[in-house]
């Protein structure tokens, strides 16, 4: 009896590994007909911007515009979220009392709990109107809208991991700094941030992973137009352009495709691409964190 | 300290350099405080605004009424019920696997490369985009396993997706049980599993419960994984019928319903999507608040 139970426990123990492989396996399986079909040019897939997967006469699968869509929203979201997230983490871990700290941590936890479709709805309604009014834009569903929503969504993860990293800095560092008569800010800036930099980097990476993989919020908030928001005209990066991301494309188009069609398979190939990106980001974050522990 | 000495001390510290550094300190504190508030305020503002906009439609009747006139009128009962079904079924699947996986990682696994790979897999499973989970659910459960688009397939997808939540918090709860408890048990000649069952699990039950509550909140709010595996735009059921769905039926879900009425259905009365958003947000926040309260109770009533 004991043996059976231990076997079940071991089986559940490796379930996560099984699922990760299964996810890759099944997504690959559904897309393999196209990917290994011989006529598929992976380089062209990555570097052309024509996305006409449903075209009868000449279907073209170029995800460059979708990749830049994902990248532009993610980068802008990080530009907003990283300073705010780090600032809040520093405030929570170094500048505030235990009661306020508890309150802020609970607030951030609740912020993290808001479902992505609700964020999308906020983007679609509140942010949309706000951006149209503030920037006099014809439509408020664009890179900026998606980025602000994504920033609010990824800030909680950045705050909680950064705070852990700051907390992990030994108190002897703080005592040594205080003994030299520095102010708290000097201590944070000169001692804690350099000492915790790997953990902070991991926090940013996990925030990026979250932003790249987010689906419903960007589907609803970015305007859903296949478009590259960069060009040679000033200011080069048009944050009021509508874009479409990799995730949103799958969510919007999978429902309309027939199983086994080229369009259906290309969406699974996009899925493999997304899986690979987030896998790489998460793996790097983990290695960065483990790097500190080994030291 | 006597007065003259203090005056001396202050004269000593007030050099230009010190004044500058104290000034910087003030600025930094202020800026960082503002940044923190910039994250807290949106939460309050957004929740307040949503409730304000939703107020014309929000009522108890809204919860228990059926959608009417192509979802432009009426309530959200089928979606609410569908979400309950999805959450319960996915919980039944994910909870035992997640708890046992955490038991393995905390009680059985040795510190070696294999355990490291498992931990890495848990982290990566949590990081897989929700839409990729949807593709996986479609490929594995709906098509390969032949379950078809159904509550079961959608719940399996949600279960895989929320597994890391349960594993992480259960592991934390288990590792908080002092080693001495286990050693005392082993010394009586009790086997490993019996020790876990009779000492470790009972002592960490509230922590495990916290994880399960968080799983519920996560599963209730997800849209992408259920879109192609079991949730539908509309499903006709009887008003107030609690057993309206079978395990192999498709169902409506609250998160999916919000997406549908705010993007796919034209000319919806504005208050209805707002009210749906408030119900979804309210459910998730209340469930999360329950987890937080539970955690505070554990912390204050800790026996060891």
Cβ neighbours of residue B98 closer than 8 Å, sequence gap 6 or more: A12, B163, B165, B166, B167, B170, B211, B215
Question: E strands, chain A, where?
Answer: 51-52, 60-61
State the pLDDT at residue B42. Answer: 79
State the pLDDT at residue B147. Answer: 87
ipTM above threshold 0.85: yes
For residue A286, give the nearest of B123, B129, B160 by CB distance: B123
DSSP code for B178: -
Distance CA B295, CA B229 (A): 34
Distance CA A129, CA A50 (A): 31
HSE-CB at A8 with a 13 A cutoff on CA atoms is 11
pLDDT tens sequence across B29-80: 888 888 888 888 878 888 899 899 888 888 777 787 777 776 677 778 888 8
Tokens representing residue B177 in the block: 């049980």
- Decide if pLDDT at B301 tops 50: yes
Q: Which residues of chain B are within 8 Å of residue A254 when distances are taken between CB atoms?
A: 134-135, 138, 227-228
- Cα distance from N-terminal residue to C-terminal residue, chain B: 43
- Decide if pLDDT at B1 tops 50: no
DSSP code for B105: I
Extents of the domains making up chain A: 41-294
State the pLDDT at residue B5. Answer: 54
State the pLDDT at residue A69. Answer: 87
Tens of pLDDT along chain A (295 residues) come to 788 998 999 999 899 899 999 999 999 998 888 878 777 777 877 877 888 877 777 778 888 888 988 999 999 999 999 999 999 999 998 888 888 888 888 888 888 889 999 999 998 888 888 888 888 778 878 888 889 999 999 999 999 999 989 988 899 998 998 888 888 888 888 899 998 888 899 999 999 998 998 999 999 888 877 777 777 676 777 777 888 889 999 998 888 888 888 888 889 999 999 999 999 999 998 888 876 555 5
Residues 48-67 of B with CB under 8 A from A: 49-50, 53
B8 vs B269, residue with greater confidence: B269
Neighbours of B222 (CB within 10 A): 30
* Residue B83 backbone phi and psi in degrees, to 5: -60, -40
A229 vs B24, residue with greater confidence: B24
State the pLDDT at residue A87. Answer: 92
> How close A106 gets to chain B, by Cα (Å)?
8
Distance CA B131, CA B153 (A): 15
Distance CA A23, CA B132 (A): 8
- Cα distance from N-terminal residue to C-terminal residue, chain A: 43
Cβ neighbours of residue B175 closer than 8 Å, sequence gap 6 or more: B106
State the pLDDT at residue B99. Answer: 93
Task: Compute CA distances B31 → A165, A232, B26, B137, whole Å.
Answer: 21, 35, 9, 45
Distance CA B113, CA B119 (A): 10
Q: Which run of H or E residues covers position A27?
A: helix A15-35
Q: What is the pTM of this model?
A: 0.89
Tell whether B160 is within 8 A of chain A (Cβ): yes
Per the listing, tokens 């286990």 go with B182
Cβ neighbours of residue A214 closer than 8 Å, sequence gap 6 or more: A116, A150, A153, A247, B129, B130
State the pLDDT at residue A292. Answer: 58
Distance CA A162, CA A165 (A): 5
Could you tell me which residues are beta bridge partners of residue B60? none
φ/ψ bin of A236: left (φ > 0), alpha (ψ from -120 to 50), beta (otherwise):
left
Architecture of domain A41-294: Orthogonal Bundle (1.10)
Count chain A–chain B contacts defined by CB atoms under 8 A: 256
A82-86, B43-47, B96-100, B127-131: least confident range:
B43-47
Tell whether B148 is within 8 A of chain A (Cβ): no
Tokens representing residue B280 in the block: 């979804």
Three-state SS for B67?
A: strand
Among A215, A95, A100, A92, which Cα is nearest to A155's?
A92
């Amino acid at each position: 009896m004991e043996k059976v139970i231990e076997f079940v426990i071991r089986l559940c123990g490796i379930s996560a590994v099984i699922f990760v492989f299964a996810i890759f396996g099944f997504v690959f399986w559904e897309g393999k007909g196209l990917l290994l079909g011989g006529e598929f040019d992976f380089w062209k897939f990555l570097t052309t911007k024509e996305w006409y997967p449903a075209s009868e006469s000449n279907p073209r699968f170029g995800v460059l515009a979708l990749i830049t869509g994902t990248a532009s929203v993610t980068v802008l979201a990080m530009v907003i979220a990283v300073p705010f997230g780090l600032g809040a983490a520093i405030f929570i871990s170094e500048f505030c009392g235990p009661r306020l700290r508890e309150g802020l941590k609970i607030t951030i936890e609740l912020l993290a709990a808001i479902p992505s479709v609700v964020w999308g709805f906020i983007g679609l309604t509140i942010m949309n109107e706000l951006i149209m009014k503030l920037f006099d834009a014809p439509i408020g569903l664009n890179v900026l809208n998606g980025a602000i929503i994504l920033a609010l969504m990824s800030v909680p993860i950045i705050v909680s991991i950064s705070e852990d990293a700051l907390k992990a800095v030994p108190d002897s560092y703080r005592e040594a700094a205080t003994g030299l008569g520095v102010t708290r800010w000097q201590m944070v800036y000169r001692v804690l941030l350099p000492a915790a930099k790997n953990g902070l980097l991991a926090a940013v990476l996990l925030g990026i992973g979250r932003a790249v993989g987010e689906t419903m919020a960007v589907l609803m908030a970015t305007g859903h137009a296949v478009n590259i928001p960069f060009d040679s005209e000033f200011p080069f990066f048009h944050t009021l352009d509508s874009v479409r991301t990799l995730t949103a494309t799958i969510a919007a188009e999978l429902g309309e495709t027939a199983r086994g069609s080229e369009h259906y398979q290309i969406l699974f190939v996009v899925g493999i691409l997304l899986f690979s990106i987030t896998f790489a980001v998460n793996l790097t974050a983990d290695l960065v964190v483990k790097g500190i522990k080994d030291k | 300290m006597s007065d003259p000495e203090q005056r001396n001390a202050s004269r000593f510290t007030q050099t230009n350099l010190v004044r500058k550094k104290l000034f910087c300190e003030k600025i930094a504190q202020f800026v960082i405080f503002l940044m923190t508030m910039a994250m807290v305020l949106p939460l309050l503002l957004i929740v307040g605004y949503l409730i304000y906009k939703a107020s014309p439609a929000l009522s108890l009747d809204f919860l228990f009424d059926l959608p009417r006139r192509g979802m432009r009128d009426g309530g959200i009962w089928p979606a609410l019920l569908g979400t309950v079904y999805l959450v319960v079924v996915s919980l039944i699947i994910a909870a035992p696997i997640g708890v046992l996986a955490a038991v393995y990682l905390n009680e059985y696994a040795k510190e070696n490369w294999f355990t490291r790979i498992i931990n890495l897999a848990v982290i990566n499973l949590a990081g897989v985009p929700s839409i990729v989970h949807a593709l996986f659910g479609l490929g594995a459960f709906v098509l390969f396993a032949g379950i078809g688009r159904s509550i079961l397939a959608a719940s399996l997808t949600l279960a895989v997706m929320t597994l890391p939540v349960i594993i992480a918090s259960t592991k934390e709860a288990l590792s908080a049980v002092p080693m001495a408890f286990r050693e005392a048990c082993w010394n009586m000649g009790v086997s490993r599993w019996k020790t876990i069952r009779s000492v470790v699990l009972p002592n960490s039950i509230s922590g495990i419960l916290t994880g399960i509550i968080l799983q519920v909140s996560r599963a209730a709010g997800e849209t992408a994984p259920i879109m192609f595996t079991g949730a539908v735009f509309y499903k006709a059921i009887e008003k107030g019928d609690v057993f309206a769905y079978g395990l192999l039926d498709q169902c409506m879900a609250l998160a999916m319903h919000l997406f549908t009425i705010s993007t796919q259905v034209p000319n919806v009365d504005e208050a209805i999507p707002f009210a749906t958003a408030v119900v979804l947000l309210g459910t998730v926040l209340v469930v999360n608040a329950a987890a937080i309260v539970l955690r505070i109770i554990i912390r204050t009533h800790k026996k060891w």
